[in-house]
Amino acid sequence: MNKDLAKNLAPGHSACAGCAFPSIVRTILGEATTPVVISNATGCLEVTSTIYPYTAWNVPYIHSAFENAAATISGVERAYLAMRKKGKIKKKIKFVAFGGDGGTYDIGLQALSGALERGHNFLYVVYDNGGYMNTGNQRSSATPYGAGTETTPVGDESFGKVEMRKNLMGIVAAHNIPYAAQANIANLADLKMKAKKALAVDGPSFLTVFSPCTNNWKFPTSQYVAIAKLATETNFWPLYEIENGKYKLSWEPKTIKPVTEFLKTQGRFKHLFLPKNKLILGKIQKIVNDEFARIASLCGL
């Protein structure tokens, strides 16, 4: 592996083959121009990168509980400011918290909201794989409508998850922070650009990155980038920024593919292609169309 790519997160972790978050972490931290300190919520990234007595992290790292990565990094950032004021630390440091969607959309939302409201100088990154993957694929509020999970099983009386995904970007934007963006592992140039902006912010910033899960979405390990690409090409996962309150679309497909092109790549949606679930597929397409129209309107398009 290129030594520069491994300077923050080294090889030798135990993430699944075809997992997106090692590339997400390396890409984002690769844009840092100052030393970084990491807080990491319990989850797939934590358990695969810190198997005792080893660690894949080459930077100062704190494992937090599921619910408090944002609170942990807030305390570290304030301690740093106090020590810098006393002259005990001279160099500039950036603070970054990582969490999955379970530890961000759900269990960690209160801590994240508090940290954003208080204005701590940190970047929060959520790698969104749409469920509690570390504990066996239970549904989270990031799980898409219609997906089959261990707690939204598919059967004669159920077609999977019946609730819509939580609009986390809207919740974050309501805190009036300087920068928030939605990115995708399939577009590294866009992710790098957004990471660079987010790390340069003086104050809180936020990135949510699409992170396919080969194990629980049920697709071949070689296909995670192709599937992530389809998510944006179908408008299931639009790429956009919210910079000082202004929405901007980062990329728009020239030809929008039907959302079924994305859904059919994954076992978690295979039941939707039964004749009895045709109406569910139509509803998912409408959800995607309406959400993209809402975002495009906010972007002034």
Q: What is the pLDDT of residues 113-142, one digit of tens each?
A: 999 999 999 999 999 999 999 999 999 999
Domains in the chain: how many in total? 1
What are the pLDDT digits (tens) for 193-212?
Answer: 999 999 999 999 999 999 99
Q: Which pLDDT does position 1 carry in this prediction?
A: 45
Q: Which two tokens stand for residue 57?
A: 């992290």
Query: Is 13 a member of any domain?
Result: no
Residue 124 DSSP SS3: strand
Query: Are 176 and 118 within 8 A, CB to CB?
Result: no
% of the chain at pLDDT higher than 70: 98
Instruction: Tell me: pLDDT of 2 over 50.
Output: no
Q: Is 208 inside any structural domain?
A: yes
pLDDT for 237-269, tens place per residue? Answer: 999 999 999 999 999 999 999 999 999 999 999
Overall average pLDDT of the 225-244 stretch: 98
Instruction: Tell me, yes or no, whether 7 lies in a domain.
Output: no
Compute the chain's Rg from CA coordinates: 19
Q: Which amino acid is at 148?
A: G
What tens digit of pLDDT does each residue of 170-186 get?
Answer: 999 999 999 999 999 99
If phi > 0 it is left, if psi is from -120 to 50 it is alpha, else beta; for residue 202 that is beta
Query: CA nearest 43: which of 180, 224, 213?
Result: 213
Q: Is 267 exposed, middle or buried (0-12, 13-18, 19+ CB in 10 A)?
A: exposed
- The CATH number of residue 58's host domain is 3.40.50.970
pLDDT at 132: 96
Fill in the DSSP letter of residue 225.
H
Residue 171 lies in a domain: yes
pLDDT at 235: 98
Under the banding of pLDDT at 50, 70 and 90, the label for residue 280 is: very high
Q: What is the mean pLDDT of the chain?
A: 95
d(CA 121, CA 97): 11
Quick: pLDDT tens for 8-47.
888 889 889 989 989 999 999 999 999 999 999 999 999 9
Tens-digit pLDDT profile for residues 43-66: 999 999 998 899 999 999 999 999
Q: DSSP state, 166?
A: P
Band of pLDDT at residue 301, cut at 50, 70 and 90: confident
Q: Report residue 120 CA to chain centroid gap.
A: 20
Cβ proximity of 27 and 85 under 8 Å: no
CA gap 281, 146 in Å, rounded: 8
The domain of 103 spans 21-298
Q: Specify whether the CB–CB gap between 135 and 43 falls below 8 A.
A: no
Q: Is residue 213 part of a domain?
A: yes
